[in-house]
Amino acid sequence: MADAAPLPQDVLIVEDNTIIAIALEEMIKDFGVAQVRCAGSVAQALALIGEKLPDFAVLDVDLGDQNCFEIAEQLANAGVPFVFATGYGEKADYPLQFAAVDKLLKPYAAETLHEALAKGTKGF
Is 109 contained in some domain? Answer: no
Is 75 contained in some domain? Answer: yes
Is 82 contained in some domain? Answer: yes
Is 106 contained in some domain? Answer: no
Is 38 contained in some domain? Answer: yes
Tens of pLDDT, residue by residue over 103-113, are 899 888 999 99
Task: State how many domains the chain has.
Answer: 1
Rounded to the nearest 10°, the torsion over CA 95, 98, 102, 104 is -30
Is 83 contained in some domain? Answer: yes
Tens of pLDDT, residue by residue over 30-45, are 999 999 999 999 999 9
Is 81 contained in some domain? Answer: yes
SS3 12: strand
> Per-residue pLDDT for 123 more than 60?
no
CATH number at residue 82: 3.40.50.2300
Q: Which of 9, 6, 5 is nearest to 29 (CA)?
A: 9
Rounded to the nearest 10°, the torsion over CA 2, 53, 47, 77 is -120
The verdict on pTM exceeding 0.85 is yes
Alpha-carbon distance 86 to 96, whole Å? 17
What is the rounded radius of gyration, in angstroms, for the C-alpha atoms of the chain? 13
pLDDT at 120: 81
